Amino acid sequence: MQAVQSPIIPIVGEWIRQHPGTISLGQGVVGYAPPPACRDALDAFLSDPGVHTYKAVQGLPALTESLAAKLSRENGVEVGKSCAVLVTAGANMAFMNAVLAVTDPGDDVVLQTPYYFNHEMAVTMAGCRPVLVATDDQYQLRPDAIAAALTPRTRAVVTISPNNPTGAVYSEPALRQVNDLCRDRGLYHIHDETYEYFVYEGARHVSPGSFPGSAPHTISLFSLSKAYGFASWRIGYQVVPEHLFESIRKIQDTILICPPVISQHAALAALQAGHDYCRPHLQDLAMVRSTVREALAGLSDLAEVPPARGAFYFLLRLRTGADPVRLTECLVREHRVAVIPGTAFGLETGCYLRVAYGALAKDTAREGINRLVRGLRDLAHPSA
């Protein structure tokens, strides 16, 4: 555990608490609540004396059936003889389940950089070696580089699209190349789809689990945390090859026993509300995104902002020699705006900052991003 990085978000959170009035462009959450029907589901839950016991490790049957229907309808993923769905306590747990199920200590797991820090942490906790493959200048996949990074100990390749921390949306051809590579080399393709609904400007979300023949080697991760405002309820789910189902049941039974039953009832109500509930919130978020993007365009002399057509992040590449962690602390202390330094995502050289806008109303986002622009002009000076 000493080798595992400390999560940066609690550290930045403490700086924010020390400086009241700070606007956070840091943590990746949405600002809206779950569907109102979830409250009704809780009332029904509490009135049933039979719910206060352990339930199925893989999730309530009604919820797994609803998820299977959603996966077929929206993702083109057919749950059945070749793959199974399990409910988890968020997508982070789904990822940990996957790593523990397919690796032995000392194995390699390929991550794309910038990586999602909890993925790197989970791989290290499992006693495995994160093998880091850089994405291109637009934060897109480099399948040839992934192939070159494989070793005899490689067990899985991890991708995230829409991406955290970059906001990049990977193309279908690139995802097919990676999925085919995993099939041909006898590896697992672990694909995180937490931000599946958050796409803009004509970008299209693609589920590798829908590719013909992908079921035996593809592990797909999903979450209600973002789309349904469910972050604290801790409900995610994963689609796994049938031959891994019992292994993952063992892992989940040991760590969790079963996903929180009260949260599963709320999740079932959220799924019944469906994408129609999410759509107006996503439209509002797209407007916030436009505000943030326009403000960041004013930093063109100081920073590169690669296209971010998904999730609710921009990852700035600053033309400065400033230390990103120190710069983040100074932005909070002197300009009352918080971001996340790129070092948390495996970017050890250069100065990168992740800007998150999912939790903010348009006016708050405008004020926050204006503070960031002023702060960067004040603190980050272009290198010679």
**What is the tens place of the pLDDT at every residue in 290-348?**
999 999 999 999 999 998 999 999 999 999 989 999 999 999 999 999 999 999 999 99
So what's the pLDDT on residue 5? 87
| Cα gap 42→54, rounded to integer Å | 17
80-83 contacts at long range (C-beta below 8 A, 24 or more positions apart): 81/242, 82/215, 82/216, 82/241, 82/242, 83/209, 83/215, 83/218, 83/239, 83/240, 83/241, 83/242
CATH code of the domain containing 319:
3.90.1150.10
Give me the pLDDT at residue 13, please: 92
Task: Give the model's pLDDT for residue 135.
Answer: 98
Domain housing 192: 50-273
Which sign does the torsion angle of CA 133, 181, 117, 316 carry?
A: positive
Is 341 found in the same domain as 237?
Answer: no
State the CATH number of the domain containing residue 159: 3.40.640.10
Residues 236 and 327 reside in one and the same domain: no
Total count of domains within the chain: 2
Q: Is 357 helix (H, G, I), strand (E, B) or coil?
A: coil
264 and 345: one domain? no
C-alpha to C-alpha distance for 135 and 133, rounded to whole angstroms: 7
pLDDT-above-90 percentage for the chain = 90
Q: Are 346 and 115 in contact (CB under 8 A)?
A: yes
- Is 284 found in the same domain as 258? no
Domain membership of residue 143 (yes or no) is yes
- Among 236, 257, 273, the domain-final residue is 273
**pTM for this predicted structure:** 0.96
Is 214 in contact with 179 (CB distance < 8 Å)? Answer: yes
Beta bridge partners of 85: 239
Contact predicate 278/285, CB 8 Å = no
pLDDT per residue over 187-228, tens digit each? Answer: 999 999 999 999 999 999 999 999 999 999 999 999 999 999
Same domain, yes or no: 200 and 58: yes
**What does the alpha-carbon distance between residue 87 and residue 171 come to, in Å, rounded to a whole number?**
27
Select from 30, 28, 29, 24 the least CA-distant residue to 12. 24
Residue stretches of the chain with pLDDT short of 70? 381-384
Residue 227 pLDDT: 94
Q: Give the helix/strand (H/E) hosting 265.
A: helix 261-273
